[in-house]
C-alpha cells in the first residue's frame, strides 16, 4: 500500500512487473560495475538470505581472522626456523614464543581497534541526538533529502521524514542508520569479546603447526606440520565464507595457496640463513 494513499488504494500490478523488476536489477548491477570496478555483485544464483548481523560481528570476524593469522604467521616462523637446521627444541621454543607474542599482540590490537571504533560511534550518536533535540526541523528536512536522493518522490519523502521524527527514539535510530551507517539494534560490538576471541583463536591456529614438533623433529616433523597446516588452512578459508559469501572451494584454496607461499618463502630464507650462519 502506498504511503499517504487512502486505505482502499493499492499500487497497480501488471503482467510486466517481473520483467520490469529484472530490468531494474540488471541496470543496478551495471551501475555498480561501472561505478566501482573493484566491487562486483556475485554472479549468482545465491543461497538463502545472508545474516548481515553475523557478518558485522566483531567477535566473529576477530575469531576467523585470528585463527588465520595465528596459523599462517606461526607456520611461517616455524618453517623458517626449521629450515635453518637448528635442533628441534629450538623450533619448539620459537614456536611457543611466536604463539604467545602473536596472541597477546592480536588481542591488544583488536581491543584498541574495537574500543576506539565504539567511542567514535558513541560520539557521533550523541551528537546526532543533540541535533535532533535542538534542531528538529532541520534534521527532518535532512532526512527528507536523504530519501529524495534514494529516488523517493519529494512529497512522500517529506511524509516519511515527518512521521519518523514524531518519536525521538525512532528518529535517532533512523538518522544513525541513514546518515552514519550505524544500526543501533545490532549494537556497536564488544572490545572484550573481540579481544578474547582473537586471543583464543590465534593461539589455536598458532598451535597447529607446532604440534608435530612436540613429538618428533627433523624433516618428518616439517612434513607433518605442513600437511596438518594445509588441511587447517583450507578449513579456515572455507569458514571465511560465513563473512564473504564466496564458494567454499574457492575461499579454501585461496587461503591454502597464500599460506603455502608464505611458508615456502620463509623455509627457503631460513635455509639460506642457516647455511650462511652455520
Q: What integer pLDDT is reported at residue 29 of this predicted model?
A: 47
Q: What integer pLDDT is reported at residue 102 of this predicted model?
A: 93
Q: What integer pLDDT is reported at residue 82 of this predicted model?
A: 85
Q: 10-residue block means of pLDDT along the chain (278 residues)?
A: 40 47 50 46 50 52 80 88 85 94 92 89 87 89 91 91 89 85 74 88 94 88 90 87 81 88 83 73
Where in the chain are the domains? 55-277
Q: What integer pLDDT is reported at residue 278 of this predicted model?
A: 57
Q: What integer pLDDT is reported at residue 93 of this predicted model?
A: 94
**Three-state secondary structure string covering the chain:** CCCCCCCCCCCCCCCCHHHHHHHHHHHHHHHHHHHCCCCCCCCCCCCCCCCHHHHCCHHHHHHHHHHHHHHHHHHHHHHHHHHCCCCHHHHHHHHHHHHHHHHHHHHHHHHHHHHHHHHHHHHHHHHHHHHHHHCHHHHHHHHHHHHHHCCCCHHHHHHHHHHHCCCHHHHHHHHHHHHHCCCCCCCCCCHHHHHHHHHHHHHHHHHCCCHHHHCCCHHHHHHHHHHHHHHHHHHHHHHCHHHHCCCHHHHHHHHHHHHHHHHHHHHHHHHHHHHHHC
Q: What integer pLDDT is reported at residue 79 of this predicted model?
A: 84
Amino acid at each position: 500500500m502506498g504511503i499517504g494513499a487512502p486505505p482502499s488504494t493499492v499500487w497497480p500490478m501488471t503482467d510486466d512487473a517481473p520483467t520490469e523488476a529484472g530490468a531494474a536489477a540488471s541496470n543496478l548491477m551495471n551501475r555498480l560495475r561501472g561505478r566501482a570496478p573493484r566491487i562486483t555483485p556475485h554472479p549468482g544464483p545465491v543461497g538463502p538470505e545472508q545474516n548481515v548481523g553475523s557478518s558485522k560481528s566483531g567477535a566473529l570476524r576477530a575469531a576467523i581472522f585470528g585463527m588465520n593469522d595465528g596459523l599462517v604467521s606461526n607456520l611461517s616462523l616455524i618453517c623458517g626456523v626449521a629450515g635453518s637446521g637448528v635442533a628441534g627444541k629450538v623450533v619448539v621454543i620459537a614456536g611457543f614464543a611466536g604463539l604467545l607474542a602473536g596472541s597477546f599482540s592480536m588481542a591488544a590490537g583488536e581491543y584498541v581497534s574495537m574500543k576506539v571504533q565504539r567511542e567514535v560511534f558513541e560520539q557521533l550518536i550523541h551528537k546526532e541526538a543533540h541535533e535532533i533535540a535542538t534542531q528538529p526541523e532541520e534534521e527532518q528536512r535532512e532526512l527528507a533529502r536523504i530519501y529524495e536522493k534514494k529516488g523517493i518522490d519529494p512529497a512522500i519523502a517529506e511524509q516519511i521524514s515527518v512521521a519518523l521524527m514524531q518519536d525521538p527514539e525512532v528518529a535517532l535510530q533512523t538518522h544513525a542508520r541513514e546518515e552514519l551507517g550505524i544500526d543501533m539494534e545490532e549494537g556497536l560490538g564488544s572490545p572484550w569479546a573481540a579481544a578474547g576471541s582473537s586471543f583464543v583463536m590465534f593461539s589455536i591456529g598458532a598451535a597447529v603447526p607446532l604440534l608435530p614438533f612436540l613429538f618428533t623433529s627433523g624433516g618428518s616433523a616439517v612434513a607433518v606440520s605442513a600437511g596438518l597446516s594445509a588441511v587447517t588452512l583450507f578449513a579456515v578459508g572455507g569458514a571465511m565464507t560465513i563473512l564473504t559469501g564466496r564458494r567454499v572451494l574457492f575461499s579454501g584454496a585461496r587461503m591454502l595457496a597464500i599460506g603455502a607461499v608464505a611458508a615456502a618463502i620463509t623455509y627457503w630464507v631460513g635455509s639460506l640463513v642457516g647455511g650462511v650462519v652455520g
